[in-house]
């Protein structure tokens, strides 16, 4: 755990008047349409207009590296989500939520064992643990509701097919039983 905030860079020391220019530069870095040197040049022009000192090349480079790493993490996260989205049935989502919540709870307990925590850190970890438990509960409820909705739709579809094809209610119920659907009276 890092005990100090680290040395402030020239970016950190920009007064409020120059914060919009810094935000613009970070957006430009994320857009990946211009070179870092070009963005820094225009940033320093914008800072000069509002009366701020220029940003050093090394400070801007460190910020650019942080922005790039954050963007890559976000892109990787989005790629993983896109890859698993087609498999996100209510059952699978509920299982994933449970796994993630358990991992988070384990992580919280591991941090408590390893780190010297402030009372604020402990409170934040307790909140994270509580949210994980709440997510598990909500996920289970959503799965139950989704399953009930699926069974109701399946029951209605089976009833419509049985009427259209002249299948008896007894035969339809046996088919539903074999599918593992406990059907309430649809009507």
Whether 142 has a pLDDT exceeding 70, the answer reads yes
- Residue 1, pLDDT score: 43
**Among 6-10, 58-62, 90-94, 101-105, which is the least confidently predicted range?**
90-94
In this predicted model, what pLDDT tens digit does every residue of 106-116 receive, in sequence order? 776 666 666 66
Per-residue DSSP letter, 167 = -
> CA nearest 104: which of 80, 122, 81, 128?
128
- 91 pLDDT band (50/70/90 cuts)? low
C-alpha distances out from residue 129 to 11, 100, 139, 152, Å: 35, 11, 15, 35
Q: What is the mean pLDDT of the chain?
A: 76
Rounded distance, CA 45 to CA 60, Å? 14
Please name the residue ranges forming H helices in 166-178.
169-178
Mean pLDDT value of segment 20-35: 91
Domain boundaries along the sequence of the chain: 8-87
Rounded distance, CA 98 to CA 137, Å? 9
């Amino acid at each position: 755990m890092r005990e100090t905030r680290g040395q402030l860079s020239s970016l950190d020391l920009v007064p409020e008047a120059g914060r919009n220019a810094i935000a613009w530069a970070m957006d430009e870095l994320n857009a990946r349409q211009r070179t870092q040197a070009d963005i820094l040049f225009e940033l320093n022009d914008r800072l000069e207009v509002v009366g701020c000192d220029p940003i050093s090349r090394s400070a801007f480079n460190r910020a650019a590296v942080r922005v790039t790493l954050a963007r890559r993490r976000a892109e990787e996260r989005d790629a993983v989500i896109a890859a698993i989205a087609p498999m996100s049935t209510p059952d699978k989502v509920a299982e994933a939520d449970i796994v993630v919540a358990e991992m988070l709870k384990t992580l919280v307990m591991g941090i408590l064992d390893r780190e010297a925590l402030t009372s604020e850190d402990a409170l934040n970890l307790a909140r994270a643990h509580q949210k994980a438990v709440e997510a598990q509960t909500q996920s289970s409820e959503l799965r139950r509701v989704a399953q009930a909705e699926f069974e109701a739709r399946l029951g209605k579809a089976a009833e419509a097919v049985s009427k259209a094809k002249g299948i008896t209610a007894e035969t339809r119920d046996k088919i539903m039983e074999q599918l593992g659907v406990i059907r309430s009276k649809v009507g």
